[in-house]
Amino acid sequence: MNYSSLNIEEILRGYEKRRLENKRLLQQRREQIYSLIPRIEEIEHTSTSLYIEAARSRVTNAANKQNTEDIKNTNRALRQEKEALLKKHGYPLDYLEPIYTCKLCHDTGYVDSEDKATASPVRKCTCFTNQIIDALYLSSNLNKVLEQENFDTFDMSYYSKEKKDQQFSPHENMGNIIKRSKEFTKSFETKERDRGNILMYGETGMGKTFLTNCIAKELLDNGHSVLYLSANELFENILSGYVMNQKTELAELYKYIYNSELLIIDDLGTELTNNFVLSQLFEIINQRSIKGLSTLISSNLTMTGLRERYSERIVSRIIADYTVFYMYGDNIRYQKRKKTITSNT
């Protein structure tokens, strides 16, 4: 993945362009309405003059209670007349109000008022976060994958209905996992935090990555911030690059590991495991749990394998805080290859 594509200045320039376009659209609306309903132009000019008069009076200490009240009443009456005229001609009451693509941050990229100590915005808006994550998906081509791998395209025919050594057949088990995965995504619409965590484990070719993509797409389509990283990317490229080598281009990405609504760590166990990885994994699990943010981990390792590789402390924390999905059955990748060979003969 090309992390240099995370150009914050470019995103900020996009906000500036958006603000200019919305101002231009508002000006077009004003010209349209003023031509059709000249009285509204008179009302807005009068209201502006009254606001200026009130402000001047406050500055010169010439304001008195009665005068201030008169100005408020006049402006209220003018606003009501303006709204009545807009409604009469079939326009929304807010048609001449400032236009914002994002009503949370007013197209600045930041929410909350300024930090009094530094006079700077204190928190990035969700739309800013999503743009950064979108840039990551575009650079990795994951957006194309999510169009193909989602709940609508999940094929249950690869899971046998025959019971073998398990209580449920692979088909019944997977059906239950799909149901609970959808419930997991729905919880994002009803809660702001503590929506739960998931651990998926099972042998290679059970559909773990496919199901992970289903969950990611469902949440992204509903405007939630999802950061999807393989274990190799997370530990060997990002955390090693930022924590160990202080690569500044990874600073924003590092923040989203701890702050995205859902962090997906795919294929845990494929990375080179050492003390650095163990400490970072525990810190991620612990900090995101404290913040009430969700994490999804997938692994080809068994529960015993996870314990042996990542220590009892980490695995016991996962078992306590995560919903565990054990996926089993016949290798789907093998079934697909077999089907392709058969169809070509």
Residue 311 has pLDDT above 90, yes or no: no
Tell me which of 9-18, 84-93, 167-176, 257-266 is least confident.
Answer: 9-18
What average pLDDT does this structure show over 326-334? 90
Q: In angstroms, what CA-CA distances link 305 with 164, 301, 312, 329?
A: 23, 5, 11, 19
Residue 144 buriedness (CB in 10 A; 0-12 / 13-18 / 19+)? exposed
> Which two structure tokens, joined as six digits, stand for 291?
């913040």
Residue 51 has pLDDT above 90, yes or no: no
Long-range contact list for 135-144, CB < 8 A, 24+ apart?
135/5, 135/6, 135/7, 135/11, 136/1, 136/3, 136/5, 136/6, 136/227, 136/253, 137/228, 138/5, 139/1, 139/2, 139/3, 139/5, 140/1, 142/228
Q: 130-142 b/e with 16+ CB inside 10 Å = b?
A: bbbbebbbeebeb
pLDDT tens digit sequence for 210-224 = 999 999 989 888 878
Residue 92 has pLDDT above 60, yes or no: yes
Residue 62 has pLDDT above 70, yes or no: no
pLDDT band at 85 (very low <50, low <70, confident <90, very high): very high
Q: Are 188 and 224 in contact (CB under 8 A)?
A: yes
Q: What's the start-to-end Cα distance of the chain, in Å?
A: 38
Sign of the torsion angle spanned by Cα atoms 105, 109, 111, 117: negative
* Planar angle of CA 65, 69, 50, nearest 5 degrees: 110
> Which two structure tokens, joined as six digits, stand for 64?
């008195």
Residue 118 has pLDDT above 80, yes or no: no
What average pLDDT does this structure show over 125-152? 74
Residue 268 has pLDDT above 80, yes or no: yes
The chain-wide mean pLDDT, for the chain, equals 86
pLDDT at 50: 85
pLDDT tens digit sequence for 142-163 = 667 778 889 999 999 999 999 8
pLDDT band at 96 (very low <50, low <70, confident <90, very high): very high
Rounded Cα–Cα distance for residues 19 and 312 (Å): 52
What average pLDDT does this structure show over 278-292? 94
Q: Are 235 and 271 in contact (CB under 8 A)?
A: yes
Residue 84 buriedness (CB in 10 A; 0-12 / 13-18 / 19+)? exposed
pLDDT at 181: 96
> Which two structure tokens, joined as six digits, stand for 303?
């529960």
Rounded Cα–Cα distance for residues 125 and 103 (Å): 10
pLDDT at 116: 46
pLDDT at 214: 94
pLDDT tens digit sequence for 229-250 = 899 989 988 888 888 777 777 7
Residue 319 has pLDDT above 60, yes or no: yes
What average pLDDT does this structure show over 251-279? 90
The percentage of residues in the chain with a pLDDT greater than 90, rounded to a whole number, is 52
